[in-house]
Structure 1
């Protein structure tokens, strides 16, 4: 990638983050406000693209926006102890484990309901009955 400034469309393509999300991240202060060209268009440098890719990776791993903001702060702080980063990751792993348990419980309930449904032309449906009771 060159050091040439990119417009928001090019930045979106280079980072894998949509232009809409780039504007949103800027609006909520997750990324610094973009530089502007003489004609008022947003311009992005290689450093901005790198930050957008970092955010994208964090989102792909399921980190919340608040957690990503913390990670960015830690990433930019060259004197940070890695223990802080590890603690944030371990906390997120615990959250993911909780979500996995919730999803497994939902799946089990749906499997149970589907098992009792005949799936034929009759109007009786244990799935709908079960949902009405839950």
Structure 2
């Protein structure tokens, strides 16, 4: 088992030192052993666990979800279906976020198109983008519809 200092662990796992200390603080990573000078030292098991945590975070799992996944790894009695259920829950949330981002994309495109047709280059206070943003609509879809409604008709 190698005695890695925090910098070497960080380099090996692609995780910075403050994050490693944070993971220790919240219990995702065991508290490191200490050398006589007080420096943290880590072993192969720490590299493996931190790599797992890092990979989970790269997939966007929350700290609580990572904690649950780590618990599953440590429990020989756990079922693969628990990990599947956590991944399915996360996938559902990711898909919902994608739908929100698509709506945001449509709204921004509508803002730009409306500005291009109505006020491009005109005075700022007359800008349809600034006007729509100042209305404080609660929904991206409502903003998108508002921006589209300000476009002049093609017939006239």
Q: TM-score range by the shorter chain?
A: over 0.9
For structure 1, the residue ranges without an aligned partner over 5 or more in a row are none
For structure 2, the residue ranges without an aligned partner over 5 or more in a row are 138-156
Runs of 4+ in 1 over 4 A off after TM superposition: none
Q: Distance in 2 between matches of 1:13 and 1:121?
A: 52
C-alpha deviation, 1:7, in angstroms: 0.6
Q: Distance in 2 between matches of 1:96 and 1:41?
A: 39
Partner of 1:17 in structure 2?
A: 15
Partner of 2:39 in structure 1?
A: 41
Q: Of the two, which has the highest radius of gyration?
A: 2
Q: Deviations along 1:87-123, whole A, 9 cap, x unmatched?
A: 1111111111111111111111111111111342532
Secondary structure of the residue aligned to 2:93 is helix
Q: Deviations along 1:35-85, whole A, 9 cap, x unmatched?
A: 101110011111101111101110110100000000000011122111111
TM-score, L = length of structure 1: 0.93
TM-score, L = length of structure 2: 0.81
Q: CA RMSD in A?
A: 1.1
The answer to whether residue 72 in structure 2 is matched with residue 74 in structure 1 is: yes
Q: Distance in 1 between matches of 2:113 and 2:132?
A: 12
Task: Provide the aligned length of Structure 1 versus Structure 2.
Answer: 132
Secondary structure of the residue aligned to 2:15 is coil
